Structure 1
Amino acid sequence: MQVGSERARRTLAFLRHRISSGEWPINSKIPTEPELMQLIGVGKTTVREAVRSLATVGILEPMPGIGTFVRSRMPVSSVLTDYLSEFSVSDLLGYRRALELEAAQQAARHRTDEQLAEMRRALDPSNPPPEHPFGRGRGRAPGQFHFLVMEASGNNLLVGLYAGVVRALRQAIAAGTVVEMTDIASRLRDHLDLLAALEAHDVPRAAHVMAQHVENDLAPADPS
């Protein structure tokens, strides 16, 4: 992730900090270009250079006419995403399920109080969910809460693989080959059940809740 000027490096550091700290959650829209220029005190070219650098590694995703969205806290391997896109959506969803189950079990063992607090904030109904670019009825890729569970597993390889899976899933959702199967209320209930299992260090319960959630969350689109 190389940027040229000192201003661009400072801008890149500013963006990375806002993302890695969780101030800009996964799937949230970052401030507009003029807002970033004012926040950081740099010009348009510098902002674009830093945003383009983060977009290249999958941390940000610009969507013309909509805005730029946070997609990961860490760089995402484009090689992995391209590789995953060669498989069927059923295979992709199955791989996602395996990663989610392992992460839930490891998070139940290793999560910290600080990580639990961050998960609670992500599920707090007083905090509006991140703006979602696909629109109602188009399905949604796993978001902030799932990434927090992955990070709480303590396994950076899991986090990196999962970021690639989510990027591939997002492409499948945009193409209409993967659809959402649950509503917001059901998704929140599952997340709260999982949070309770993680809080109690209940490994079997965490695995059970995550398995049920992932099984019902996303599915291949009906070819008919």
Structure 2
Amino acid sequence: MQSGSDRARRSLAFLRQKISSGEWPINSRIPTETELMGLLGVGKTTVREAVRSLASLGMLEPLPGIGTFVRSRMPVSSLLTDYIAEFSTAEILGYRRALEIEAAQQAALHRSPEHLAAMRRALEPPSADQVALGPDPRSAPGQFHFLVLEASGNTLLVGVYAGVVNALRRAINAGTVVHATDAAVRRTDHLAVLQAIETGDPAAAAHAMAHHSDRDLVPSN
């Protein structure tokens, strides 16, 4: 008979794999508690324990009455998020812009075929399952942005960026940061960034990312 601790470890590993692989994209809503119980063959307590564990790592965020959302493909330091959140909105957005431009340049030089394939998949129309899970209406930069950071080959950039995004999400929830363009424009921008990375042109990648960052998230006033 499988012990409670074994079930908890298996459940945690299942959820983490779904997140880290990108099967559950950043800012997507994960299956409901009842659905997870069915998928894992475990009880409510085990599911809640696994979700709490990943929420404590900054990988998931439960939003009461809405659902639980994927926030990062890797653990995020809460201390880093708290520190970044102390700065002004303009400073955080400017820092995010700098990180993304550097990441795009490095991604154009260091991306692998696997990175490119993952970025292409992230820009495909959502599957029926993803549509059913639904997006987070209060989302910050999502899966594609994190994949660009990962393609840079700089894990420090990825970790710091995750803290920046968490701080930006707080600002979005507070209404001090908003999207300046709609989803169609953001996808067009993302495709331009991807094309530059695919061709291995760091200058073009930096330009495309700068153009996108300047009209993606902006202060609300």
| 1:134 and 1:174 in contact (8 A); partners too | no
Residue 126 of structure 1 and its aligned partner are, at CA, apart by: 5.5
Aligned to 2:178: 179
| 1:97 and 1:211 in contact (8 A); partners too | yes
Percent sequence identity over matched residues?
69
> Matches of residues 1-224 of structure 1 in structure 2 within 5 Å?
5-125=5-125, 127=127, 131-134=134-137, 140-222=139-221
1:132-178 Cα deviation digits (max 9, x unpaired)? 3336xxxx411110011011111111111011100000010010001
Q: Gaps spanning 5+ residues in structure 1: where?
A: none
* TM norm structure 1: 0.92
Worse-matched range after superposition: 118-127 or 49-58:
118-127
Amino acid at match of 1:180: H
Amino acid at match of 1:150: L
| 2:28 and 2:136 in contact (8 A); partners too | no
Aligned equivalents of 1:68 and 1:126: distance in 2? Answer: 18
SS at match of 2:215: helix
Structural RMSD (CA)? 1.4
SS at match of 2:58: coil
* Equivalent pairs, count: 215
1:117-140 Cα deviation digits (max 9, x unpaired)? 1111111135467733336xxxx4
Q: Gaps spanning 5+ residues in structure 2: where?
A: none
SS at match of 2:87: coil
Residue 190 of structure 1 and its aligned partner are, at CA, apart by: 0.7
SS at match of 1:61: strand
Residue 216 of structure 1 and its aligned partner are, at CA, apart by: 1.1
1:92-117 Cα deviation digits (max 9, x unpaired)? 00110111011101100111111111
SS at match of 1:116: helix
| 1:27 and 1:131 in contact (8 A); partners too | no
| 1:34 and 1:44 in contact (8 A); partners too | yes
| 1:36 and 1:47 in contact (8 A); partners too | yes
SS at match of 2:218: strand
Worse-matched range after superposition: 124-133 or 89-98:
124-133
Aligned equivalents of 2:28 and 2:167: distance in 1? Answer: 18
